[in-house]
Structure 1
């Protein structure tokens, strides 16, 4: 987590109504550059991007992050009437006046982002699938996930699942800071809903640039998973980040940021 950051830039925070009286906590750096929208993991919130947004803003981008329903700063809403998270995202970007933008989704945020990309491909300039199993429902993919993630896996501590062994061994202060953010994040308070049952055929139709990225020690979304997903998207390129588990944005931020900025061009 010891990333060298550019001089601090300001950002504006607000609560944005996405319908049904539900308000999402949003921050926005503003600016005239192309927009980047960041989608956090299940074990996280819009707070998680402190090592990204100053770097991306310094590179000339307008950077936007938010917390999904039930996560830090955002309303829970009524679980019985919860809309798909991709619908909330659509209402959010419409409210912010974003016609087209780059979308970066990590872990469960990558599942929401993929759902959005299937429904609204015309809105995307580029798409980063970061450390994510993307929510595919095809039988062959689901069978692989069952081999990869036995039921007992979910009983392990969050930091064991989310952070790689090298990081946990070498950066105890970073692990403690990550856990402090996790405690505020609101993990799994509101179950995710999706608009689509995403299949391989949907990914094969993506006609915008895609970066599939993961850490080489990611237990959730290992390199084999990332290679498989990238192989099914004609416009995709692949990046495997050394020394990282499921949270490269936190574990190896300088490498993560550089890979994304190189992709965005």
Structure 2
């Protein structure tokens, strides 16, 4: 069971699982703590995992006023402070990886290590055009189902579309009791489209692993490589045959890789 934790002007819905070294999981555009279910289930025997709904997603409200990646990073920092976690392994995917970058820059003492999945440092022309399309697609799609069917073309592999995985995910999304509003989707999207850490990446001091899906259309490997090259000592790996969300499509592969990385970081002390 989750709980609402006050981090200032908003309460974040938080799910915690397991025992061991602390791990903070940061979701991306529109996603909630449930996006990390395979990690909450698969890694709880080794880690104390914390996942949460960013402001404007799921059960976490979206107050009036500007929304930005640094603000969501401040939420993540305030959450760790509220939970009295002195430092955590931080993993973020897509927009969550943007938040993780800002967290590592603004509160480096809280970040024991970084895993950045499906990431970038500065959106390029393709990314800006893509997110602009998503913005009006959310308003003009004939139904929520149609919106998800279109949106997930950028998110999941052709394999997942063919084998029924995407159909199952759509049904789960439609049945979810706390759907994201169009306004919240667009405001989150605008904040992620404005993300820019390119000239500040050298300031990230945490051990970092950047992962990219070979078939990722939204944040292709070329964008992740730029992030890895900008962070001192960062590792970079491409997952063959995978797209934007391997942690959902091939969770055993993803879990094994991040577990090995976190163990390496732990061994270094």
TM more than 0.5: yes
Residue 178 (structure 1) aligned to one of 154, 162, 169: 169
2: distance between equivalents of 1:202 and 1:81? Answer: 21
Residue among 8, 13, 20 paired with 1:25: 13
Displacement of 1:16 after TM fit?
0.6
Q: 1:251 to 1:200 in 2, by over 3 A?
A: same
- Structure 2 vs 1, CA of residues 24 and 199 (structure 1 numbering), >3 Å: closer, same or farther? closer
Which of 154, 158, 163 is equivalent to 1:161? 154
Contact 2:91 2:116 in 1 (8 A): yes
Unaligned runs of 5+ in 2: 138-146, 264-269
Q: Could you say which residue in structure 1 is the equivalent of 2:267?
A: none
Q: How far is the alpha carbon of 1:181 from its aligned partner?
A: 4.2
Partner of 2:228 in structure 1?
Answer: 230
1:13/1:28 contact within 8 Å kept: yes
1:197–1:150 distance in 2 versus 1, CA, 3 Å: closer
**What whole-Å deviation, never above 9, does each CA across 1:13-52 have from its counterpart, x for those lacking one?**
11011222x2111011153x21001011103111111111
Match in the other structure for 2:88: 101
Partner of 2:237: 239
Identify the structure with the greater helix proportion: 2
Query: What RMSD in Å do the two structures reach over aligned CA positions?
Result: 2.4
* Residue pairs, 1:106-121, within 5 angstroms: 106-121=93-108
Change (3 A) 1:182 1:214: farther
Runs (4 or more) in structure 1 with deviation over 6 Å come to none
- Summarize deviations over 1:184-218 as a string: whole Å, max 9, x none: 45266432458x97433421122221010011100
Deviation at 1:57, TM superposition (A): 1.1
Distance across 2 between alignment mates of 1:102 and 1:232: 20
Residue in 2 that maps onto 1:262: 260
State the partner residue of 1:46. Answer: 33
Q: 2:200 aligns with which of 199, 202, 213?
A: 202
Counterpart CA distance in 2 for 1:81 and 1:215 is: 28
Q: 1:197 to 1:189 in 2, by over 3 A?
A: closer
Kept after mapping to 1: 8 A contact 2:27/2:92? yes
Provide the aligned length of Structure 1 versus Structure 2: 240
Contact 2:91–2:115 (8 Å) recurs in 1: yes
From 59, 62, 73, the counterpart of 1:86: 73
- 2: CA distance, partners of 1:188 / 1:234: 38
Q: Normalization by structure 1: what TM-score?
A: 0.82
- Please tell me whether residue 150 in structure 1 is matched to residue 129 in structure 2: yes
Distance 1:40 1:197, change over 3 A: closer
